[in-house]
Amino acid sequence: MLLEIPGVLTPEQVQRFRARLDAARWIDGNVTSGHQSAKAKYNEQIPEESAEARELGDEIIEALSRSQLFMSAAVPKQVFPPLFNRYKEGMTFGSHVDSAIRSHGPTRVRIRTDISATIFLAAPEEYDGGELLIEDTYGVQKVKLAAGSMVLYPATSLHRVEPITRGTRIASFFWIQSLVREDAQRALLFDLDMAIIRLTKANPGDPALVSLTGVYHNLLRMWTEV
């Protein structure tokens, strides 16, 4: 399931993030690359042990906890501490699949990567190129979102970042280990949860809500890996 979630960060948060990141130290992005990715990756990152990465990452985690869409779509067990990357003119990241297991040195967090996430921190008009291209069942999906918005997609997906031809693309990226490992099961749970929410708003007294909510939780109970 590929899902865009608008406004995870407010415009004020984005502005503050950008000020911190603009003043931060950037290093070669291959510091966190796996063997396959290192051959295709040409970008910069904030060191994962830096104060900026830690403090801004904590703020992202807090924002995610307030997002109903994120919680429903990801059913998160653990979120990898967010990282930050930058693509200047000529930089790119060729086709690759994210590593199945990610370890974070400073915190010793180690997760199975079920879901990949990108939060855009630069507005689309600030740069040309830089689209995130994700291959899914329906072909290649091109993603370039407003600053503060996020895209979620299966970590098993082949994806790439197109070369930058003007400006600078800045983003946060991270992974989620879900309580529900299978993407198809998460998609069914998400659709059911959204239907329950719509029905609750339209007809809060409908007795079908009790039955549908029971089905949701019984499926979650069946598929959850704690």
The CATH number for 149's domain is 2.60.120.620
Could you tell me the pTM of the whole model? 0.93
Question: Both 199 and 100 in a single domain?
Answer: no
Tens digits of pLDDT across the chain (226 residues): 999 999 999 999 999 999 999 999 999 988 765 555 556 788 999 999 999 999 999 999 999 999 999 999 999 999 999 999 999 999 999 999 999 999 998 888 999 999 999 999 999 999 999 999 999 888 999 999 999 999 999 999 999 999 999 999 999 999 999 999 999 999 999 999 999 999 999 999 899 999 999 999 999 999 998 8
d(CA 78, CA 176): 6
- The CATH number for 215's domain is 4.10.860
Q: Do 140 and 188 sit in the same domain of this protein?
A: no
Residue 154 sits in the same domain as residue 200: no
Classify 50 as helix, strand or coil: coil
Does residue 143 share a domain with residue 51? yes
> So what's the pLDDT on residue 152?
98
- Closest alpha carbon to 87 in 37, 127, 38, 36: 127
Check whether residue 166 and residue 194 sit in a common domain.
no
Residues 197 and 214 in one domain: yes
109 and 214 in one domain? no
Predicted local confidence at residue 137, as pLDDT:
82
State whether 51 and 98 are in the same domain.
Answer: yes
Question: Which of the listed residues 163, 178, 193 is the one where a domain comes to its end?
Answer: 178
Return the closest-CA partner of residue 107 out of 80, 74, 73, 83.
Answer: 80
Q: Is 217 annotated as a binding residue?
A: no
Number of domains composing the chain: 2
Same domain, 116 and 166: yes
Q: Exposed, middle or buried, 189 (CB in 10 Å: 0-12/13-18/19+)?
A: buried
Same structural domain, 84 and 48 = yes
Q: Are residues 166 and 192 in the same domain?
A: no
98 among annotated binding-site residues: yes
Could you tell me the residue range of the domain that residue 133 belongs to? 3-178
159 assigned binding-site residue: yes
Q: Which residues, other chains included, contact 58 with Cβ-Cβ below 8 Å and sequence gap of 6+? A: none
Residue among 174, 177, 178 at smallest CA distance from 81:
174
Beta bridge partners of 83: 173
Dist CA 134 CA 122 (whole Å): 19
The Cα–Cα gap between 225 and 174 comes to 21
Same domain, 138 and 78: yes
pLDDT at residue 40, as a whole number: 77
Q: Is residue 104 part of an annotated ligand binding site?
A: no
